[in-house]
């Protein structure tokens, strides 16, 4: 019996701070709108050059989650720097989808050249886990957890990457002017990752302003819908 209340949205990333940089303002906005939101970090993100221990990074992740207001944050314990798509990783994440039953899953949509190759592996693991979560007649791998079909999957991109993901046509922007500072505050919780990068706040803010300018809003974050999204009220949606 699974008594965990379902989440509306789960964002999946390779490391603590990926989600904050990619879509922290959107998650904070969803929480303000009354949705239940979770973050799943596949690894603890350590070691990194300026962090003294995994415990410090974990404390930073907890502080960032509190800043965004998300209800659930999970660290899956897969190996940082050696994250690889494989059966065990897929099942471990799919179990979390079956436990928390998100309606929407958001994750990496592309590789990040010159950045960690874990990001691409996280994309592959997330894609597979969304599929595994709904498979029947496979109970021996899922500890008796009931199947769960994720209704929608979206891809995010890191804030300093291009606004569009090549090969995908179904892009959408979320107006995050009201929660952009919340995103920046969450990113700054990671002193071990960003204290030596004094321009990070201005760069994150500038990226959101540029993305927002494409749609005539003050700030935005960009996503890709894996499949087209149909709207019921065209006027309300567009305006």
DSSP track, the chain: ---SPPPSEEEEESSTTHHHHHHHHHHHHHHHTT--EEEEEEE-----TT-S-HHHHHHHHHHHHHHHT-SEEEEEEEPTT-----HHHHHHHHHHHHHH--SEEEEE-S--TTS-THHHHHHHHHHHHHHHHT-SS-GGGTTTPPP---SEEEEE--TTS-SS-TT---EEEEE-TTTHHHHHHHHHT-HHHHTT-TTHHHHHHHHHHHHHHHHTSS-EEEEEESS----S-HHHHH-
Q: pLDDT tens-digit profile of 32-52? A: 999 999 999 999 999 999 999
Round the average pLDDT of the chain to a whole number and report it: 96
Q: pLDDT tens-digit profile of 78-111? A: 999 999 999 999 999 999 999 999 999 999 999 9
Domains and CATH numbers, the chain: 9-238 (3.40.50.10320)
Neighbours of 176 (CB within 10 A): 25
| Whether the predicted pLDDT of 1 surpasses 70 | no
Report pLDDT for 163.
Answer: 86
Assess contact for 80 and 15: CB atoms under 8 A. Answer: yes
Report pLDDT for 45.
Answer: 98
Report pLDDT for 96.
Answer: 98
Report pLDDT for 157.
Answer: 93
Report pLDDT for 4.
Answer: 77
As a whole number of angstroms, the longest Cα–Cα distance in the chain is 52
Report pLDDT for 164.
Answer: 87
Mean pLDDT (whole number) for 216-227:
96
Which of 154-163, 184-193, 196-205 is predicted least confidently? 154-163
Structure token digits, residue 170: 């179904």
Mean pLDDT (whole number) for 127-133:
98
Assess contact for 215 and 204: CB atoms under 8 A. Answer: no
Report pLDDT for 239.
Answer: 86
Is omega for the bond preceding 189 within 30 degrees of 0, making it cis? no
Assess contact for 20 and 186: CB atoms under 8 A. Answer: yes
Report pLDDT for 2.
Answer: 66
């Amino acid at each position: 019996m699974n008594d965990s209340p379902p989440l509306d949205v789960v964002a999946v990333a390779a490391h603590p701070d990926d989600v904050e940089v990619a879509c922290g303002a959107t998650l904070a906005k969803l929480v303000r709108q009354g949705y239940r939101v979770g973050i799943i970090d596949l690894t603890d993100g350590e070691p990194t050059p300026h962090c003294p221990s995994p415990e410090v990074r974990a404390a930073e992740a907890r502080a960032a989650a509190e800043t965004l207001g998300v209800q659930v944050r999970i660290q899956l314990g897969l190996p940082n720097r050696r994250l690889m798509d494989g059966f065990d990783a897929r099942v471990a994440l799919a179990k979390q989808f079956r436990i928390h039953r998100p309606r929407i899953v958001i994750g990496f949509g592309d590789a990040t050249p010159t950045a960690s190759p874990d990001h691409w592996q996280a994309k592959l693991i997330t894609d597979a886990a969304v599929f595994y979560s709904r498979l029947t007649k496979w109970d021996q791998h899922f500890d008796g957890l009931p199947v769960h079909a994720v209704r929608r999957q979206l891809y995010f991109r890191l804030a300093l990457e291009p606004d569009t993901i090549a090969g995908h046509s179904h892009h959408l922007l979320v107006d995050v002017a009201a929660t952009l500072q919340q995103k920046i505050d969450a990113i700054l919780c990671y002193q071990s990752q960003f204290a030596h990068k004094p321009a990070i706040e201005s760069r994150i803010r500038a990226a959101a302003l540029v993305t927002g300018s494409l749609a005539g809003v003050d700030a935005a974050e960009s996503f890709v819908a894996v499949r087209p999204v149909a709207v019921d009220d065209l006027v309300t949606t567009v305006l």
